[in-house]
Structure 1
Amino acid sequence: MSDAVPAIRLRGLTKDFGSVTAVDHVDLEIAAGEFFSMLGPSGSGKTTVLRLIAGFEQPTEGVVELFGRDVSGKAPFDRDVNTVFQDYALFPHLSVLDNVGYGLRVRGVRKRERDERARAALASVRLDGLADRKPAQLSGGQRQRVALARATVVQPKALLLDEPLGALDLKLREQMQVELKQIQRDLGITFIFVTHDQEEALTLSDRVAVFHDGRIEQLGTPQELYEQPATKFVADFVGTSNLFDAERSSALLGRTGVHSIRPEKLVVAPADATAPTGDGERTAAGTVVETIYLGTGNRVVVDLDGGARVSVLEQNDRHRTFVDRRGERVLVVWHDADVVPLSSPLIE
């Protein structure tokens, strides 16, 4: 971290609900202007951390700082942040312009200035031509952008987003992921994004915190999390991994401890193929038990003779067509550089 004051600093943050610890002594710094995601399954603590930052929950222990100011006991309206929820919560009887300007109205901003700032906010999300419409006349993606404009028009220092794309269909989600990142870059403010969708977190984020059982399991850039998962949980949750316990790591990989290999790092070759001769290349014989067509690629599931089952992802290109290979004897090929050691035991 640089010497600059972080946008968000959490120190020893803990939240108990009765006998359940939802957040367990979390320490975290988020830089000003960063697109930061909190990723994890339901019950991992990520949404509770967001609510603690927003002031909707009060910590059992620990400190929440916003731009160097301790706000741990402050109400939501006394924190320079705003929140966008999954359901958008737009007023159906108000126009788009009045929805966006509502926060300014509550703050006592005069109508002329309020409308000017609301129109500018709509322009920033590319909706300046829809100011007079009602929310019911908009698509899901447009309503999501209205919610963003309403949240940013009051010029918060940080924007908190609680799974705001969760209600959209897949194609619209993918489109809005690109737009959301562009909007964040244009505005230049800190975005803190909560999601359970690992692809969404990898697509959008400068950095990601992976939550598990109320703690941060790993913190890093999308590339670091995907290429170098630190634990079995991260390897299995962020993308798909082939996991090897200590016994199979020793037998198949020639290594001690627990390891993982991503499916796209493996190659399936004919059983009679010449064994690779390059440094660090290894092979294992096995039998194909399933071949799955994915559109952009094929997933080939192989039971290795050494006892492990691995998944191989092959890209669909003009050199490869889908063939049902069940029962075929093959060699699975990989490189030692693509084997990642994991710090936690595979079987707990």
Structure 2
Amino acid sequence: MTETTDAPADASLPAIRLRSLRKTFGEVVAVDSVDLDIADGEFLTLLGPSGSGKTTVLRMIAGFELPTAGTVELAGVDVTQKAPFDRDVNTVFQDYALFPHMSVQENVEYGLKVKKVPKAERRQRAEEALASVRLEGYGDRKPTAMSGGQRQRVALARALVNRPKVLLLDEPLGALDLKLREEMQVELKAIQREVGITFVFVTHDQEEALTMSDRIAVFNNGGIEQIGTPAEVYEHPATEFVAGFVGTSNLLRGEASRAVLGHDGVFSVRPEKIRVAEPGAVAGEGEDSALGRVREVVYVGSGTRYVVDLEVGGSLVALEQNQRSTSMDVMGMRGRQVRLVWRKEHEYRVG
């Protein structure tokens, strides 16, 4: 990273501040007036479907795209028009882009070599970076002799060796198989805690976002629908889109809302909060319930999802753990009448 002549930044300022950020490609509005503050040392995830604007925002922070309007500040310094190499950030992509003819050590050292850092210092910093991602002793290996998860950590070490204030990660786990991706989610969060720098992570995978993030910014149609902790976004979705995208869409609206809850509006109840009971069961104090018929049963090993068509219209999904049930037991529920019961405190108005 090249040195700049900017005055030292105020440590109390956000690591990243976006104001009225907008990006258009011809007639297409990719990002529309985004305002966002990201705290120093925070792990923030930009979550949303393809085309929602999250990757374009990341690229504008990195300097790979220039905003049509608005500003990007890093630690209080306006970098909106600066080139990527003049910003104290590094980016890790889904395609790790490691040099196959170089060793792991040489890959990690490469950026320092370009900046003419002395050889002894390069080696020391590269070894420290590899240690931070738990790859001590792997320096002499070639990337082609490593697993996907190990190559992902080499790419991370190559970014960390520059000691950036901000690390940007563009779906870096997307190419990994499910089991390895889940392991790397936990490992990546642990690494972020250890190195203590700001991570901005882009993904369309809501479980990935919930697993790793301090906060999540949910994107849709070029804007932010909701910002909050994983628990806030999941338990208290601000809009119908968030309720459906982050977790299973489970909404009561219209006649169903009026008949079951006694309220107009749209309400969300998460599947794991719903209990499947016999049709004659009575809701207790502080509970609501709805009668319905099981349309579909999805057995997923540790739990079962029941899709229930309600008598008052609409449907809900209930998720129950298979503590005593087998696949044969739960499959027999299809077509049966049931009563769904949940606590009023788990109903949340959206929109």
TM-score by length of 1: 0.95
RMSD: 1.2
Q: Hey, what's the Cα distance between the residues in 1 that align with 2:267 and 2:293? A: 22
What is the one-letter code of the residue matched to 2:283?
A: P
Partner of residue 39, structure 2:
31
Q: Hey, what's the Cα distance between the residues in 1 that align with 2:60 and 2:154? A: 25
Question: Is 302-311 or 26-35 further displaced after alignment?
Answer: 302-311
Aligned sequence identity (%): 65
Q: Hey, what's the Cα distance between the residues in 1 that align with 2:178 and 2:216? A: 22
The structural deviation recorded for 1:334 is: 1.4
What is the one-letter code of the residue matched to 1:241?
A: S
Q: Hey, what's the Cα distance between the residues in 1 that align with 2:216 and 2:136? A: 32
- The number of aligned residues is 339
What is the one-letter code of the residue matched to 2:198?
A: T
SS in 1 for 2:257: helix
TM-score by length of 2: 0.95
Q: Hey, what's the Cα distance between the residues in 1 that align with 2:319 and 2:297? A: 10
Q: Hey, what's the Cα distance between the residues in 1 that align with 2:136 and 2:165? A: 23
SS in 2 for 1:179: helix
Given the alignment, which residue of 101, 119, 125 partners 1:117? 125
Superposed, 1:2-151 pairs within 5 Å as 4-151=12-159
Question: Is 169-178 or 112-121 further displaced after alignment?
Answer: 112-121
Partner of residue 292, structure 1:
298
1:305 matched to 2:311? The reply is yes
The structural deviation recorded for 1:3 is: 8.8
The structural deviation recorded for 1:63 is: 0.4
What is the one-letter code of the residue matched to 2:322?
A: N
Question: Is 55-64 or 328-337 further displaced after alignment?
Answer: 328-337
Unmatched 5+ residue regions in structure 2?
1-9
| Structure 1: 4+ residue segments shifted above 4 A | none
Given the alignment, which residue of 320, 323, 333 partners 2:325? 320
SS in 1 for 2:137: helix
Question: Is 22-31 or 282-291 further displaced after alignment?
Answer: 282-291
Q: Hey, what's the Cα distance between the residues in 2 that align with 1:283 and 1:133? A: 60
Partner of residue 346, structure 1:
none
1:165 matched to 2:170? The reply is no
The structural deviation recorded for 1:80 is: 0.3
Superposed, 1:145-294 pairs within 5 Å as 145-273=153-281, 275-278=282-285, 280-294=286-300
What is the one-letter code of the residue matched to 2:49?
A: P
Q: Hey, what's the Cα distance between the residues in 2 that align with 1:77 and 1:232? A: 40
Partner of residue 341, structure 1:
349
1:168-226 CA distance string (max 9 Å, x none): 00000000001100100110000000000000001000001000000000000000000
Unmatched 5+ residue regions in structure 1?
344-348
Q: Hey, what's the Cα distance between the residues in 2 that align with 1:3 and 1:266? A: 46
1:128-156 CA distance string (max 9 Å, x none): 11100011000000000000000000100
Q: Hey, what's the Cα distance between the residues in 2 that align with 1:121 and 1:47? A: 26
- The 1:55–1:3 alpha-carbon spacing in structure 2 relative to 1, beyond 3 Å, is closer
The structural deviation recorded for 1:310 is: 1.2
